Amino acid sequence: MAALRLNLNGKEISSELSKLTRADIYGDSKTRVLGPNDEVLTKAGVSENGRDYLTRGDFKHALAIGEEFTLKPTQVVNALDGRPVEQVPSSFAVAPKFEPASADEVAQLEVDVVYRLNDAQLEAGSRFIGTFNYRAGYEKKDAVIIGKAEGAFLLVGTLKKASFVGMDVDSQLIAAEPAEEETGDGDFGSL
Amino acid sequence: MYIKLTNSQKRTADLYLISLNQAKATKVVVQTADGPAEPERKPVLGRKPGWSRGMEPEAIAAALVKGDPEIDTACIGRPVQVRSTVFLNSKSQPVTQFRVLEDKFLPDGTLKDTKPYRPTEPNIELPIQVSAKGNQSPEDMVQKFVVHKIYQLIHTDSLSFDFIFAECEKIQRMGFVRLAAGLKGNEPLVLRREGLPCFAFLRGRIEGETY
C-alpha cells in the first residue's frame, strides 16, 4: 500500500496504513449451516415464481425509472440545488489537513473504519480532526487522528452533532427516523 | 426505538432513541425528457440461476467453451424478487434438516471453539440503568473507546422531559456515564436480535430550557 501523507497542524508526516478491525482485537465468529452427513449448505433466495433458487452472483442490479429500465449515463448532483458535484480526490492523491481538536469534538465521531498509522510518532493524548477519503468519492468523510501509547490511529466516519431539544420537540425529529437496515428473508443482502 | 431509562434514584422514564443520520448531500440522477430523475436500483437475473453453482472458475470457462450457450433473453435481465430463503445442498436441492454452528476464532485466526448457533436477543425491553461505575471523562473516552453508533435520547411526554432534563443537568460535568442493561444492571446493551453486545455511555448537556 502507498504511504499516506498527512498535514498535521502544518507539520507534514508520512505513514503506511493498516486496517484494524474488531476481529483483530477480539477475534471473530462465523456461522456454518450443515445438512445431513455434515454437508455444508448454501443459502439461497426463492424467487417470486417459486422455481428459481438464487445465490450470490445470480443477480445484478439495474437502474429503473418507474417501471422502465434505463442504460442512460448517470450523474451525481447536489441533493439541494441539483448542480453537478465535483469528485473529492483520494487522500492518497492530496494530503489531507488535520487540526488539533478537543476530546468533545472527537467524541462526536461515529466511526466506520480504524487504521493504524504504522510509521507516525505522535504524543500520547494528542488529537487531530479533519477529513479522509480512502478512495475518490462524492462526499468527504470525517476523520480524527489519535495519538496513544500503543501508536497513532486514524479513525474514519461521520461527525454526529446532536441539536438541543426543548419541551415542544419537533415531531419531524422522530418522523424522519429511518428504519434500521435489516437483512432477513426476502432481502438480497441476506444472501 | 423506545427505551426505558432508570437513573440512580431508581426513577424510570420512557424515552425515544433516534439515530443522528443526516440526509445525503448528493444524489444520482439520469437525464430524461421530463428533466433529471432519480433512478431506482432493481435486482435482475444476471445468469441462469444455479447454472454454475459449485463449479470452479476453470470448470465454468470449460463449460462455456464446450457448450457455447446463447444468452437466454427470456431469463437474463428479468426483474426478480426474493420471497423467502432456503438452504441448498451440493445438488442444488433444498434441505429441510439442517443445523447451524458458530465457529469462534481468536484474533490470530485460530479456531477457539464450535458451538450450536444461538442468536443474541435484545435486552432493551427491560429498563437500562445509569451505572455508578465506569464513568469516563471525554479525554479518557476518546483514548479508550471507539464509538460505533451515536443516538440521541428524546423525551416522549412532559414527565420524561423533566426526567431527561434533570439527568442531563446532573451529568453535564461528569463526562460520559456508563449505561448497563439486564435485571442486575451489569450487562452490555444489545439493541436488536443478532446484535453485538455493546458498551454504552450517556452524555448530557443543557442550554437554557433545552437539553
Domain boundaries, chain B: 2-18+120-203
Closest residue of A to B39, CA-based? A65
SS3 content of chain A, % helix, strand, coil (to 5): 10, 45, 45
Domain boundaries, chain A: 4-23+90-178
Cα separations (Å) of A159 from A56, A91, B6, B22, B70? 34, 18, 28, 10, 51
Q: Which of B42, B94, B107 is facing A24, going by the closest CB pair?
A: B107
Portion 102-141 of B in contact with A at CB < 8 A: 102-107, 112, 117, 137-139, 141
Q: Structure pTM?
A: 0.85
Chosen for mutation from A167, A171, A174, A187 (greatest number of chain B CBs closer than 10 Å) is A167
This model of the complex carries an ipTM of 0.84
pLDDT tens across the length of chain B (211 residues): 888 999 888 899 999 999 888 888 899 999 998 889 999 999 999 888 878 877 888 999 999 999 888 888 888 889 999 989 999 998 889 999 999 999 999 999 999 999 999 999 999 888 999 988 889 999 999 999 999 999 999 998 899 999 999 999 999 988 899 999 988 888 999 999 999 899 999 999 999 999 9
Spatial distance between the Cα atoms of A26 and B55, rounded to a whole number of angstroms: 35
Q: Which amino acid is at A58?
A: D
| Element housing A124 (H / E) | none
Q: How far is CA A123 from CA A8, A149, A153, B135, in A?
A: 12, 8, 12, 24
Length of chain B equals 211
